[in-house]
């Protein structure tokens, strides 16, 4: 069964909805992976400007990145996902090409799997990547499962700040 979602650009989502999305993660003391700093952003408006600039005109120490929100068929914001056009050294350790998060109240509904499929299609067709690196903490069994469902092959496990990070490669055919 295919879950109906779409990836929408950050400037298409009202700030109020983004604030509610962020609040749910903060309430659970969670980082919003795949959001380019939304967790710690002082204002939604400044964060939006930052991620739009990451795509249009990244600084020399940044990577061109496409940022989306994942919206379900009822137009409810359920998650976020990003795609980096290339990797900086720290992305090669943790983060990879694509990062994502699903809001706590919407987990287990297939949104991450479908969002990752769409982001991988974008990485192949729009960015021109032949493969993507995805990473997850060794303890994140759900993310591991989603990556493997999308043909992720475990390449290595590294230790970073006393955490074990799994590195998966997905070939884009």
Whole-prediction pTM value?
A: 0.95
What total number of domains does the chain contain? Answer: 1
User: Residues 136, 166: contact at Cβ < 8 Å?
Assistant: yes
Task: Choose among 47, 39, 41: nearest CA to 22.
Answer: 39
Q: Does residue 155 belong to any structural domain of this protein? A: no
Q: Does residue 140 belong to any structural domain of this protein? A: no
Q: Which CATH number does the domain housing residue 83 bear?
A: 3.40.630.30
Q: Tell how far CA 49 is from the center of its chain.
A: 18
pLDDT tens digits along 2-48: 789 999 999 999 999 999 999 999 999 999 999 999 999 999 999 99
pLDDT tens digits along 100-157: 999 999 999 999 999 999 999 999 999 999 999 999 999 999 999 999 999 999 999 9
């Amino acid at each position: 069964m295919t879950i109906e979602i779409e990836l929408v650009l950050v400037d298409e989502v009202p700030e109020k909805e983004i604030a509610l999305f962020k609040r749910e993660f903060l309430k659970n003391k969670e980082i919003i992976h795949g959001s380019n700093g939304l967790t710690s952003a002082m204002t939604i408006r400044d964060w939006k400007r930052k991620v739009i600039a990451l795509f249009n005109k990244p600084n020399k120490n940044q990577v061109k990145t496409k940022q989306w929100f994942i919206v379900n068929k009822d137009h409810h914001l359920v998650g976020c996902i990003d795609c980096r056009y290339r990797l900086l050294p720290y992305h090669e350790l943790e983060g990879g090409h694509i990062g994502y998060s699903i809001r706590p109240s919407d987990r287990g509904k297939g949104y991450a799997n479908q969002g990752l499929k769409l982001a991988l299609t974008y990485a192949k067709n729009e960015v021109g990547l032949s493969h993507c690196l995805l990473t997850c903490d060794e303890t994140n069994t759900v993310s591991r499962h989603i990556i493997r469902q999308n043909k992720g092959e475990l390449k290595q496990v590294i230790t970073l700040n006393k955490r074990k990070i799994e590195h998966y490669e997905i070939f884009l055919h």
